[in-house]
Structure formats: structure tokens, C-alpha cells
Amino acid sequence: MLPTLNGRIQTRIFLLAVVGSLWTLIITPILPIDAPLGTAYKTTFSILLVVAVLGIVWELIYHGIQQFRWEKDWPTIFGLLTAIPEGLLVWFLLAGGAIPWIDSVPGPAFVIDFVTTWLVVWLVANGPMRVPFIHWRINGGRLI
């Protein structure tokens, strides 16, 4: 499958909304955040929302970079490694106070939350999602 830009954006939003939300519900209570559970959930779901919104911008950037490659795509491992610049950007936005409704997030809590969520979403996209969503694979990653 060669994912289209539209397909990658749809897949990213769908996986973050479904898989990312379920994983966030599970992992938030065990994160090292010194705050009431409701505040911790607000923080982790806000991070998930920021990742989803910025993800659309990232997909546009990745699409532009991919145009320089012969097959207009890149190896699957690059999809995993894109977590590094995306995670750093989100962390700098959080640390710099650019997201006003989040007071502060301890570094270890952010790393655990972001990295595990990214891994779970990436694994689902490259494994189980390919089985029930056969048309997803045929249609360049588009879900709609």
C-alpha cells in the first residue's frame, strides 16, 4: 500500500482518537503525575489532542519531504522514528507554556505517556489494522 496524504491524515486521527484514547485511559493512573486523577487525565488527553492537531501539520511536512523520494514513501521504520521530532516539539510547547490549559507535566510522565502511546498506535497501524480494514490498505490509507 502506498498511503496518500489524505489517507495518512485520516489514519492518524482515527488511531489517535480510538487507540490513543484507550491507551491514555489505561496508562494515566500509573503515570508519575502529582495531581488528582481528573487533572492527570486532563493533562494526558490534552497531550493527545496536541499530538493529533500537530500531526496534521507534520503529515503535510512529511508529504513534501517524500516527494523527493523515488517511490514517494519511506520505510515503515521512518514512521516509528518520526516520534522523535514530534515528541520534542510537543515537549517544547508544553515546557514553554504554549499550551495554556496545561500547567506542567513532569518529564518522566511525558516521556512514558508519549512514547508508549506512539508505540501502541504505530504497532496497531502496522499490524492489526491491516486485517479488518482491507479497504484501508487498498485505498491508500483512507478510511472514508
Q: Residue 83 falls within a domain, yes or no?
A: yes
Q: Residue 122 falls within a domain, yes or no?
A: yes
Residue 47 DSSP SS3: helix
Encode the chain (144 residues) as per-residue pLDDT tens digits: 567 888 889 999 999 999 999 999 999 999 999 999 999 999 999 999 999 999 999 999 998 988 888 877 778 898 899 999 999 999 999 999 899 888 889 999 999 999 999 999 999 998 888 788 877 766 777 777
Q: Which residue has the cell 486532563?
A: 42
Q: Residue 14 falls within a domain, yes or no?
A: yes
Q: Residue 97 falls within a domain, yes or no?
A: yes
- Number of domains forming the structure of the chain: 1
Q: Residue 67 falls within a domain, yes or no?
A: yes
Q: Residue 144 falls within a domain, yes or no?
A: no
DSSP H helices in 16-140: 21-27, 37-66, 76-81, 83-95, 107-125, 134-138
Please give the full DSSP string across 55-81, using - where no structure is assigned.
HHHHHHHHHHHHTTSTTSS--HHHHHH
Q: Residue 118 falls within a domain, yes or no?
A: yes
For residue 17, the enclosing domain spans 5-138
The pLDDT value given to residue 2: 67
Q: Residue 133 falls within a domain, yes or no?
A: yes
Q: Which residue has the cell 516509528?
A: 80
The pLDDT value given to residue 1: 55
The pLDDT value given to residue 53: 96
